[in-house]
Amino acid sequence: MRSRDKDKMKLTSNKNSNHQEINLPEKVLVVGLDGATWWLLERLMQDGAMPALTKLIENGVRGDLASTHPPLSPVAWTSLATGILPGKHRIFGFFDPRYTHVRAPRLGQTTRPVSAEGIGAPTLYQYLNHQGQTTGLLMVPVTHPPQPLQGYVVGDGILTPNEQSDYTYPSTLKEKVLAAVPKFRVRPYEYLRERLEFIDETTYFVEQQGRAACWLMENYPTDFTMVVFTATDVIQHYFWKYMDPTLSPYTTREGNEARPKLRRFYNLIDRLLADLVTQAGPRAVIILVSDHGFTSAKRVFYVNRWLYEQGLLSFDKSSEGRLRERLVKHGLTQERLFGLLKKLDILNLRQRLRGRDHLGAGIAVRKGIQDALAPKVDWTRTRAYAGNMGEPYVYINLEGRDPGGIVKPGKEYEQLCSLLCSKLAELHDPATGQCVVRKAYRAAELYPGPYAHEAPDIIVDFHDASLITSDSVQVSTTFQDDQTYRGVHDPNGILLLHGPGVQKGRQIENTRIIDVMPTVLHLLGAPLPEGLDGRVLTESLAEHFLSRNPVRYTTSIARAHMPESTGFDSYTDEESSEVEQRLRDLGYIT
């Protein structure tokens, strides 16, 4: 018997004959398109760029998929994998809340990225393994370091530190994947750039990922397979300005040059989707999802600046600190200084960018300006602060939890939280006069569960997703227009189901990302464990399927089946720095 046939036998369960007897699909394939939004996909389908997706929609069920709040990738993908909200799984952002200094890297605190070992609840993959079913994961976020399971893990679309990392389980699989697809990369975006060539390069590396996915599915078939393409998110962050006709860059020469390249990119995504569907076979249910949608950034709310104006965040009063504060007060912000340097080209940036063909020079200069102008926080007088760019969080500088914390637990903490929630609820944008906050939540109110105490203290829900938050302190105003024309996360992602037992040509509503996991369990004939926040999307399933396969529940699968946490040292200091720099280059953190 050939070795690859032996591998197939190792990973394939013996339940397929039983599934056919009770009309269950043979397998489930989940394809994730990070950041995909129907608004854009519908335009591409109308243009004929995505025929495979069009066909799946005609013969399946589709709808919006509500993300987590906020719609951050590690939070959302973990909620999809666990079927529960963040207060029960412990992933609240890009940094591990168990780490002592997790809160604010911009303000000088050290951090550790989140990891698979930090997830505080069993995942879909572990539940399926407990039921004797196998799982295969390719580039699924928050799976680094790869955890042992019946099946395989290859890469993490966000958190794998570098190409030298041990990014597969079993470890021997890495060599086999690279032998089959030599150009496969877990970190193709070494140098991120807004130049149009980046679209072509990303398209090439996505094609390699698709080849790796098909090779894995052919050689290591599993009952459940999940493949996530994070490149869609990266492309949309950088080039949304050429996708949204309402933005002025859309009609520029560069915009006209970018759109054919972008069409080729999404056409490749569509062809890879078709390949994966074919590889899965006619007895598979296909679920297409995104962790959030996308929209255009229009306004920026500088949370730390607002906290400073409220007297809750203080800066160093040394002569150096006073100088920085005066510069910022008079409008010499990092963005203005960087813009001036680019305009005058004092540092010969244009030549550097041409010669090195990446944004490394610009990133280094921007970081240098940021470090030079950043006012130093006086933690002995700071009561509250913001976390990272894009995270609508406010943290209390709590005594006993935060380094140098000054707010006492109990009455003082409760009063400060209540004050912040009240003030945020009254926050108006001076440009429009409109109230911008729908509600400011306490952590336990929005994220109930055993890890609510590790969550951000205040979570802000804005009326409009085009208003984004920034933790920058080098600004002289609380609100301003966003001048980058960048794409940002919208709370509504996509959902599509197709295959045996699924209805055809129907649109469904009120679906949430936490509903995917229980739906997959049900499709594969597994009972639902207690304590899930999500539900089976029964409205997407055919009546004959539901009548023969009613939703079942069990108390036998409990937290006892979750592997013990090994602590937060999933990364070395060097690996942690690499991941943080990657997140910074992607624009996820500052």
Predicted local confidence at residue 574, as pLDDT:
85
- Find the domain containing 275 and state its range: 3-84+121-295+488-557
Q: Would 70 be classed as within a structural domain?
A: yes
Q: Is the pLDDT of residue 589 over 90?
A: no
Shared domain check, 220 and 131:
yes
Q: Would 567 be classed as within a structural domain?
A: no
Predicted local confidence at residue 263, as pLDDT:
98
pLDDT in tens, 281-294: 999 999 999 999 99
Strand partners, 194: none
Shared domain check, 137 and 271:
yes
Res. 550 pLDDT band, cuts 50 70 90: very high
468: helix, coil or strand?
strand
Shared domain check, 425 and 529:
no
Shared domain check, 306 and 288:
no
Shared domain check, 550 and 479:
no
Shared domain check, 513 and 523:
yes
Total tally of structural domains belonging to the chain? 3
pTM of the model: 0.89
Q: Is the pLDDT of residue 325 over 80?
A: no
- Among the candidates 437, 455, 485, a domain finishes at 485
Rounded Cα distance, 13 and 16, in Å: 7
Q: Is the pLDDT of residue 322 over 70?
A: no
295: helix, coil or strand?
strand
Q: Would 233 be classed as within a structural domain?
A: yes
The three state secondary structure string of 232-263 is: HHHHHHHHHHHCCCCCHHHHCHHHHHHHHHHH
Q: Would 566 be classed as within a structural domain?
A: no
Shared domain check, 532 and 416:
no
Q: Would 290 be classed as within a structural domain?
A: yes
Rounded Cα distance, 134 and 112, in Å: 31
Shared domain check, 390 and 266:
no
pLDDT in tens, 142-179: 999 999 999 999 999 899 999 999 999 999 999 999 99
Shared domain check, 392 and 382:
yes
CATH of the domain at 12: 3.40.720.10
Question: Which helix H or strand E contains 178, and what residues bound it?
Answer: helix 173-180
Q: Give per-residue burial for 314-346: e unless 16+ CB within 10 Å, then b.
A: bbbeeeebeebbebbeeeebbbebbeebeeeee
Predicted local confidence at residue 568, as pLDDT:
53
Q: Is the pLDDT of residue 280 over 90?
A: yes
Q: Is the pLDDT of residue 338 over 90?
A: no
Predicted local confidence at residue 332, as pLDDT:
57
- Among the candidates 485, 510, 542, a domain finishes at 485
pLDDT in tens, 346-398: 444 444 444 333 434 444 555 555 555 566 888 899 999 997 778 899 999 99
Shared domain check, 312 and 184:
no
pLDDT in tens, 429-464: 999 999 999 999 999 999 999 999 999 999 999 999
Q: Would 193 be classed as within a structural domain?
A: yes
Shared domain check, 361 and 436:
no
Residues with Cβ < 8 Å from 299, sequence gap 6 or more?
A: 429, 431, 466, 467, 468, 479, 480, 481, 482
Q: Would 583 be classed as within a structural domain?
A: no
112 φ, ψ to 5°? -135, 135
Rounded Cα distance, 293 and 312, in Å: 33
Q: Would 150 be classed as within a structural domain?
A: yes
C-alpha angle 300/304/308, rounded to 5°?
A: 125
Shared domain check, 287 and 201:
yes
Bond prior to 170 in cis (omega within 30° of 0): yes
- Among the candidates 485, 506, 523, a domain finishes at 485
Question: Which helix H or strand E contains 65, and what residues bound it?
Answer: strand 60-66
